[in-house]
Amino acid sequence: MRRLETDDPETFIRENTVVEAPCLVPEIRLHLVHEITPIWEATEKEMNEADLAPPYWAFAWAGGQALARYVLDNPEVVAGKTVLDFAAGGGIAGIAAHMAGAARVLAADIDPFAAAALVLNAEINGVSVEITTSDLIDAEPAWDVVLAGDICYEGPTSLRAEAWFRRLAGAGVRVYIGDPGRTYLPKEGLEKITAYAVRTTRAIEDTDLRNACVWQVLPATRRG
């Protein structure tokens, strides 16, 4: 495999991904890693030598697909509202929110390669999404709706995000989590909205099919 050149993130993404529509959300096209793309075969050593974080932005994770499907099928959730796509990755939820009529969408991901992928993905879908690489956890409420897909896979980050989500919900922000049963999904204080069966690949999951749920975070006073 040739050396991974990462000085130009947008060129890197164009050369190492293919444009495809996720199975659950065929309305949206994304730059995704595929078996035929070079980065798929990169070893951990090669990724480290290229100073490249794991390309989480290059997969259409089940939780993000579930959020996007829910928003597209229920546009009143975001129509005319300000929306934050938190830990956005490739931006599938934020793109769906724009398509569903959101007044403003901010996509946030601390990975600069995710930010570059967001630019490209917004472009190919003809949508306008603002992008930031700032860590927004603990930011003051500035949105009507927060969408967060597949964030419950790491303990410390999940706990920080959960506490922040509770505060946002208490301030009147509608917070939705898309999750296929990750380890650190909160065990209480969530209301299940809907669920979808999402086809996956064993290259990134332990099964070929995930049951991905959309949960709404409840304020502390409404926890059960």
What's 110's DSSP letter?
S
Cα(84)–Cα(210) distance, integer angstroms: 25
User: Which of 218, 220, 224, 216 lies closest to 74, judged by CA?
Assistant: 216
CB-based burial label for 80 (10 Å; 0-12, 13-18, 19+)? exposed
Neighbours of 12 (CB within 10 A): 21
Radius of gyration, CA atoms only, the chain: 17
Write out the two tokens for 140. Answer: 């003051």
Pairing of strands 18-20, 30-32: antiparallel
CA gap 90, 129 in Å, rounded: 12
Helix, strand or coil, per DSSP, at residue 163: helix
Domain boundary assignment for the chain: 9-56, 60-222
CA-to-CA distance for 128 and 210, rounded, in angstroms? 30
Distances in whole angstroms, Cα of residue 125 to Cα of each of 25, 91, 187: 12, 11, 36
Which residues fall within 8 angstroms of residue 176, CB to CB, at 6 or more apart? 67, 70, 77, 145, 146, 147, 148, 193, 214, 215, 216, 217
Tell which residue, 157, 154, 180, has the closest CA to residue 67: 180
Averaged over successive runs of 10 residues, the pLDDT of the chain (224 residues) comes to 63 90 96 70 55 78 96 98 97 98 97 95 96 96 97 88 96 97 91 92 62 93 54
Tokens of 70: 């829910």
Q: Residue 224: what pLDDT?
A: 47
In this structure, how many other beta carbons lie within 10 angstroms of the beta carbon of residue 94? 35
Looking at domain 60-222, its CATH architecture is 3-Layer(aba) Sandwich (3.40)
